[in-house]
């Protein structure tokens, strides 16, 4: 049984999460991850010190305690990338707590994050993306489901949407306008141009869909008429990937990477692509330039082999 977190520490965590939600616009998924990560840290500290850690006791955590926590996490099979994420959440919590309670959090904030190799996005070639769209439609058990799946994947690739953003579209959003207003992570709003192919795909789906087109209901329906589950989209893309013999990196999110990379290759401005993707930081978007550079270096090495 995990050690109990004190009422004071629990209240501090709850207040901090409210702060993240209200003032920083963190999404509910982010809030859930923060809650889980910091609560697990507080629970560890209670066991580490052999007693429930109140709010005052949290100010006495030092570097060796942080190292003990990180070592414990690694023994649980937690990878460097995940541990770095957890440490970031703990630091953010302590930065806020130290400011509120007036103590020095240097020991926590100076804890070094574990090193890990950043995974670069793996975009698909344009012909592979097109084949994936066609295959998702062909493998469906009915025409309307095939049209639905093709329309969703076209939105992922043609507009750079996340699965959640595509499935959050409502009946009132169709027929699709020239520009879609998308609410992304953290409630951030952006405008996304809609390609004719995406508009045509959604129109074809609506013509075949047996369920009524209702303004305040999800645009994309499951077989029984309810909201479509994201997992269903992932399964369809996986089936298409296997049929085409594409690598495991050909996921629904890869369409979003492909959207950005192909725009960049065509001379698109990095800042404009950042806006289209809804990235808060340009550094996130810059990962796509690394993909492009890696491919160019591969071509260069083949053309100019070393002696």
Active site residues: 162, 185, 253, 256, 279, 288
What's the maximum distance between 2 C-alpha atoms anywhere in the chain? Answer: 68
80 token code pair: 């460097």
Joined tokens for residue 250: 């050909």
The helix (run of H) or strand (run of E) holding residue 189 is strand 189-193
Cα separation, 177 vs 270, whole angstroms: 25
Kindly state the tokens that stand for 210.
Answer: 């047996």
CA distance 154 to 159: 8
H helices of the chain, in order, are 7-23, 28-49, 55-58, 63-75, 80-101, 106-109, 126-138, 143-159, 163-167, 196-208, 230-244, 252-265, 270-277, 282-285, 287-303
- Would you say 243 and 131 are in contact if contact means Cβ atoms under 8 Å apart? no
Instruction: Round to whole Å and give the CA distance between 110 and 63.
Output: 8
Q: How many CB atoms lie within 10 A of CB 184?
A: 19
Whose tokens are 């589950």? That residue is: 229
State the Cα–Cα distance between residues 289 and 292, nearest whole angstrom: 5
């Amino acid at each position: 049984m995990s050690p109990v977190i004190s009422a004071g520490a629990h209240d501090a965590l709850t207040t901090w999460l409210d702060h993240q939600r209200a003032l920083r616009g963190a999404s509910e998924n982010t809030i859930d991850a923060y809650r889980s990560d910091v609560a697990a840290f507080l629970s560890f500290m209670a066991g580490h010190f052999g007693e429930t850690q109140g709010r005052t006791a949290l100010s006495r955590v030092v570097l060796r305690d942080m190292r003990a926590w990180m070592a414990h996490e690694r023994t649980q099979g937690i990878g460097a990338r995940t541990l770095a994420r957890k440490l970031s959440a703990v630091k953010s919590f302590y930065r806020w707590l130290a400011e509120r309670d007036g103590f020095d959090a240097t020991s926590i904030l100076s804890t070094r994050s574990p090193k890990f190799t950043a995974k670069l996005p793996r975009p698909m070639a344009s012909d592979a993306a097109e084949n994936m769209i066609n295959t998702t439609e062909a493998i469906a058990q009915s025409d309307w489901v095939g049209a639905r799946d093709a329309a969703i994947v076209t939105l992922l690739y043609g507009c750079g949407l996340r699965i959640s953003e595509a499935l959050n579209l409502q009946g009132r959003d169709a027929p699709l306008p020239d520009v879609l207003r998308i609410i992304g992570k953290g409630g951030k709003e952006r405008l996304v141009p809609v390609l004719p192919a995406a508009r045509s795909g959604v129109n074809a789906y609506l013509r075949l869909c047996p369920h009524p087109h209702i303004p305040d209901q999800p645009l994309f329906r499951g077989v029984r008429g309810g909201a479509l589950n994201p997992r269903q989209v992932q399964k369809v893309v996986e089936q298409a990937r296997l049929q085409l013999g594409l690598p495991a990196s050909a996921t629904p999110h890869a369409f979003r990477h492909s959207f950005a990379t192909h725009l960049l290759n065509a001379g698109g401005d990095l800042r404009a692509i950042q806006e289209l993707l809804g990235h808060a930081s340009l550094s996130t978007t810059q990962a796509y330039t690394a993909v492009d550079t890696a491919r160019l270096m591969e071509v260069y090495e083949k053309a100019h082999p070393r002696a």
